[in-house]
Structure 1
Amino acid sequence: MMGKSALRALSVCIVLLSGPSLVHAQGNAAAGKEKSEPCAGCHGEDGNSNAPIFPKLAGQHASYLAKQLHEFKTEKRVNPTMTAMAEPLSDEDIDDIAAFYAQQKITVEKAEAPNALGEAIYRTGNASSGVPACTGCHGPDGSGIPSARFPALRGQYAAYLEKTLNDFKSGERANDANSIMRAIAAKLSDEEIAAVSSYTSGLR
């Protein structure tokens, strides 16, 4: 039988999957390599950024990357720099760039061990505060669910994951479907956010 945390995580995913169609066009990765050249300064030539303040794009699902670029372009996700980068891109450009990065291999960060708190939050959540397990939407190994545009988290910089959770918690980032991530992050303590970010970064 499923535990309460697992059931909550499943219900989160069902809610998100009940949204608009998630059909995503296939891009041309070869064309995307050339089109991604302006992105290399922050995200690296192969999508592995050198600075933890910039997310790694290598190995991320094309469907998720395309969604983020469209939302930067329309300012649904607020970031002046990324909006300026995305605004000139056509739908085809976005699909091509997303396809290129999706085919790259992410460099996985070394996990800090032991990290019992981070592992507990990721795998079982926190029943007392109503936080569901991260595995429900991001998978046991952090690989995400591309058909639902749930991002892969494994190998991402811990600092970037921590910033993302804090941005959802504060409401600075608000492009999550049905406010799911904002609702979850609001229930996490600063200690839990740091711990689960560190643990998730080292998943393989």
Structure 2
Amino acid sequence: MKRNTLSGLVAAGLVGALMVPGVNAAGDPEAGRTKFYTCEGCHGVAGYTNVYPTYHVPSIGGQHADYVVSALKAYRSGQRKHGSMIGNAATMSDRDIEDIAAYVSRFRSINVNLPVSGNAAVGQGKAESCGGCHGEDGNTTDPNFPRLAGQHESYLIKALQDYKSGARKNPIMNGIAEGLSDEDIKNISAYYASQKKGLTVVED
């Protein structure tokens, strides 16, 4: 699909993406900009969705470089499961991964106004136990944990459902998600998707 067509889907939703100084991990962001071509077909298109099951491809612009590195290495090893992600990461060297991570970490959103279906106000209360790792508003400064602010609601719902079912493995997240109802998951996801100055599409 053409980028111009898809960008219109969220033209009013993601506003003012900036490249800002950020954590470069051990990578070269300029080299990462070139290597990102294998990722931009999904992560460089605003509003792009996974085919099946249908959910928004996660926004990774502004994500901590160290977290992106760990995620890509997990896909490369097969520890994290997603067909196209495993396929893309399989041929990446450690240097490729570090360069791409350094590049995407430089993007941040000035403002985000994503549509949500859950109750963000209720979700804020339910998300209190998440703040220790992800930050009160999902904008954690700890590079060991992912930023959640401005992430697509549908992606967060899918991630939490997978943690709850055990399809996605993380001892902390599996334990937390186990105690969440479907309504809790929806509302928490709405809360983080509604937060400002968060993640954005990677689009120059």
Q: For the superposition of Structure 1 and Structure 2, which TM-score range results when normalised by the shorter chain?
A: 0.7 to 0.9
The count of residues paired between Structure 1 and Structure 2 equals 166
Stretches of structure 1 that go unaligned for 5 or more consecutive residues are 1-23, 124-132
TM-score by length of 1: 0.75
Question: What is the identity percentage for the equivalent residue pairs of Structure 1 and Structure 2?
Answer: 38
Structure 2 Cα separation of the partners of residues 60 and 49 of structure 1:
17
Structure 2 Cα separation of the partners of residues 44 and 160 of structure 1:
16
Q: After superposition, what is the alpha-carbon deviation per residue over 1:50-69, rounded to whole angstroms, capped at 9, x for unaligned?
A: 33520001000000000000
Matched with 1:200 is 192
Q: After superposition, what is the alpha-carbon deviation per residue over 1:6-31, rounded to whole angstroms, capped at 9, x for unaligned?
A: xxxxxxxxxxxxxxxxxx94210000
- CA apart distance, 1:104: 1.3
State the secondary structure of the residue aligned to 2:112. coil
What is the RMSD of the two structures over their aligned residues, measured on CA atoms?
Answer: 2.0
Whose strand proportion is higher, 1 or 2? 2
Work out whether 1:118 is the aligned partner of 2:123: yes
Greater RCO (Cα-Cα under 8 Å, separation 6 or more): 2
Work out whether 1:146 is the aligned partner of 2:142: yes
Matched with 1:156 is 151
Work out whether 1:84 is the aligned partner of 2:71: no
1:156/1:201 contact within 8 Å kept: yes
- CA apart distance, 1:75: 0.6
State the secondary structure of the residue aligned to 2:148. coil
Matched with 1:43 is 43
Q: CA separation of 1:64/1:77 partners in 2, compared to 1, >3 Å: closer, same or farther? A: same
- CA apart distance, 1:145: 4.0
Q: Match of 1:141, as an amino acid?
A: D
Stretches of structure 2 that go unaligned for 5 or more consecutive residues are 1-23, 50-54, 197-204
Work out whether 1:105 is the aligned partner of 2:108: yes
TM-score by length of 2: 0.75
